[in-house]
Chains A and B, each alone.
Chain A
Amino acid sequence: EDQVTQSPEALRLQEGESSSLNCSYTVSGLRGLFWYRQDPGKGPEFLFTLYSAGEEKEKERLKATLTKKESFLHITAPKPEDSATYLCAVQAGISNFGNEKLTFGTGTRLTIIP
């Protein structure tokens, strides 16, 4: 069974204090790893897709990286508006039609203090 574990559950940072969020996964062949941001009362908002170990993607103050066992979401010099819950999800690479399921972690709740 595919599993995704995110850590820490919650993280409080001062504005400008860089850090990383972790997503560890166990999957039967990885087709893709997805990062989403979720604000209170809203649906998850897509950030990145990573497909293979060694791949990196960046968007503003966020950078996502991928290894064979985990992914990191690095946040550089965060601002209060970066406060949100960050979700990680994996899609297995089994090629038989029908395996379109995303398995989500429980998220990291990030708070940036001005």
Chain B
Amino acid sequence: DAGVIQSPRHEVTEMGQEVTLRCKPISGHDYLFWYRQTMMRGLELLIYFNNNVPIDDSGMPEDRFSAKMPNASFSTLKIQPSEPRDSAVYFCASRQGRFYEQYFGPGTRLTVT
């Protein structure tokens, strides 16, 4: 399996612009998680889906953040408008079932200037 795929790997944008991050989970996995990693706060869960349905979005920092999962093989995390404090590495992870480990993608490094 190719593992979790994320795109783009790097994104540089100006404050106020819309940013869309993409994720393809491992085939057959029914859970998908979006995380943000910063030096100050470490890895934080933003939102997760089960069978394409958002279950818990309590980690989404503001209404500027939104996530969708239109089908089992694709998810997006959108930030609009972006701000410099959104600069971080965003990871997508997937898992099969409730009692197993999560597998992470390579991440998207977002820089907002």
Distance of A113 from chain B, by nearest CB (Å): 24
Contacts of B56 in A (CB 8 A): 98, 100-101
Please choose the segment from A12-20, A65-73, A102-110 that sits at the chain B interface, where 4 or more of its residues have CB less than 8 A away. Answer: A102-110
Interface residues of A in 62-114 (CB under 8 A from B): 87, 89, 98, 100-102, 104-107
A54 within 8 A of B: no
Q: Does A43 contact B99, Cβ atoms closer than 8 Å?
A: no
Contacts of B99 in A (CB 8 A): 31-32
Closest to B59 in A: A101
Interface residues of B in 36-57 (CB under 8 A from A): 42-43, 45, 48, 50, 55-56
Query: What 1/0 flags go to A44-69 for Cβ under 8 Å of B?
Result: 11100100000000000000000000
Q: Contacts A43-B4, A45-B104, A46-B103: A100 and B42 contacting too (C-beta < 8 A)?
A: no
Q: Contacts A100-B48, A102-B45: A43 and B104 contacting too (C-beta < 8 A)?
A: yes
Which of B55, B91, B93, B102 is the one whose CB lies under 8 Å from A98? B55
* Residue total for B at the interface (Cβ-Cβ under 8 A): 22
Q: Does B104 contact A101, Cβ atoms closer than 8 Å?
A: no
Closest to A101 in B: B45
Closest to B91 in A: A43
Contacts of B98 in A (CB 8 A): 100
Q: Does A87 contact B105, Cβ atoms closer than 8 Å?
A: no
Contacts of A45 in B (CB 8 A): 104
Contacts of A32 in B (CB 8 A): 99
Contacts of B102 in A (CB 8 A): 34, 46, 102
**Would you list 17 pairs from A and B whose C-beta atoms are within 8 A, ordered by A residue?**
A31-B99, A34-B101, A34-B102, A42-B107, A43-B91, A43-B93, A44-B91, A44-B104, A49-B101, A87-B43, A89-B43, A98-B55, A100-B55, A100-B56, A101-B45, A104-B43, A105-B42
